Amino acid sequence: MKPNTHSGLVTIASFANHFEAVMYKAELDAFGIYCVIFNDNFGALYPLMSFGGEAIKVKVRDRDLEMARAILLKSEPLPEGGVE
């Protein structure tokens, strides 16, 4: 059985579209922070069909949360929902 590689992850930001989530993930990756995008299947297939929600989540390890927040707060623009 494979260990759960997503345990200990927390949501750092929420997005309504795939592109914004990928841009923030790329920025965190550039700083060596492990992060993943969750709930993106529909948004990637049908980017113009946003229902006003921010269903796409970028998650980081809980131990990297403070560093990730600091990086994202220096970035412009912030997601509509802000950094969580």
- Bond prior to 77 in cis (omega within 30° of 0): yes
Residue type for position 75:
S
Cα gap 66→7, rounded to integer Å: 18
**Beta strand residue intervals within 1-84, DSSP E:** 9-15, 35-38, 56-61
pLDDT of 26 > 70? The answer is yes
Tokens of 15: 């997005």
pLDDT of 58 > 50? The answer is yes
**pTM of full prediction above 0.75:** no
Which residues touch 82 (CB under 8 Å, ≥6 apart)?
13
pLDDT of residue 20: 87
